[in-house]
Structure formats: C-alpha cells, structure tokens
Amino acid sequence: MKKKVVYFLIFIVIAIFQLSFIPVIFEKKAVADAVLMAILAWSILDGFFAFLAWAIFFGLFYDIISYSVIGTHALIFLVVVYFVSFFSRRFSVEMKGFGTILFLLFILVATLASNATIATIFVWKMQNFHGFWQSFGSLKTVMIQLVYNTFLFLILFMLIRKIKQFFAIEV
C-alpha cells in the first residue's frame, strides 16, 4: 500500500510540474517531457512486470488530466516499458560503461516514439498526412528536446531511486 501511495504522489507532482511549470520555462516547440522521463526511469528501476500496470494507469490518468486523446500516453508508456524490458534482460543497465549508452538510447527511442505517436494521432484527427512532420518537429527541435529530456531523466532517475530507498520500496 505504501508503494502505491508514494508512486501516485510522485506521479501527481511530476504531472503538475509537466503541465504547469515546464511549458513556461522551455521553448514552445521543444518542450521537455518530464512524465515520459519519469516513466522511463521507473521502468528501468522496477522492471517490466512490476511496472506494466503502473504504466497503463499513469498513461490513462495523464491523458485525462492533460486533455489528450484517451490511450495516447498509455500506448507511449507501454512502448517505452517494453523497449526497456527488451534490452534490460539482455544487457546490464547501470549508470556506467555500456549502460550509459543504453540510457541514451532509451531516451532517444522514448522521445521519438512519443513524438511519432502524438503526431500520428494529430494527423489521424485532421485526416491529412501533410501535418505529420510539422507536428513531429524539425530536427533542431527534436535535438533540443533530447537534450532537455536527458537532463530531466538523470534528475528524475536519481530522485526516484532516492525516494524508493528512503521509503524502503523494493520490487
């Protein structure tokens, strides 16, 4: 029960930070995605089976509070959690050596998958494929977003790990 309350409170704080504070600080088009980076950090720390239900719940909850199409972020979070699971079973995922490269790969794939999914849903609603690349973002915008997401991921990864240690939450 303690794990559920702590995880939910952490998610609420990060979602409020994402929806109210981050858009004011960062550029309009290259907004960092704190919620996605928190999901990525949790999936690395907890593993696929321990975090799968949380990813679905957080995705649906985030869709509701951000006025997104229901299921958009749940789909994005599931892709991220599965991708992390696929590689974490095969390689050592630590903050040293090859694990650092894996973290950067996870951030890259999570950011691109999120942008592609949101752009696809936007195009689907507009019934016109011409807006896909505008909605996805330019190369410069995506690169800036990757830098922002990398810093956010590192901060959130350390923060979530420390909170789990403080509350003695194990998988």
User: Are 135 and 119 in contact, with CB atoms under 8 Å apart?
Assistant: yes
Cα-based angle 73, 126, 147 (whole degrees, multiple of 5): 45
In a domain, 14, yes or no: yes
Q: Rounded to an integer, what distance in angstroms lies between the CA atom of residue 163 and that of residue 168?
A: 8
In a domain, 171, yes or no: no
Q: What is the pLDDT of residues 5-61, one digit of tens each?
A: 999 999 999 999 999 988 888 766 668 899 999 999 999 888 888 899 999 999 999
Domain that holds residue 148: 2-166
Q: Is the pLDDT of residue 95 over 90?
A: no
pTM of the model: 0.90
Specify the CATH number for the domain of residue 63.
1.10.1760
Give the chain's domain count: 1
The pLDDT score that the predictor gives to residue 163 is 95
The pLDDT score that the predictor gives to residue 135 is 75
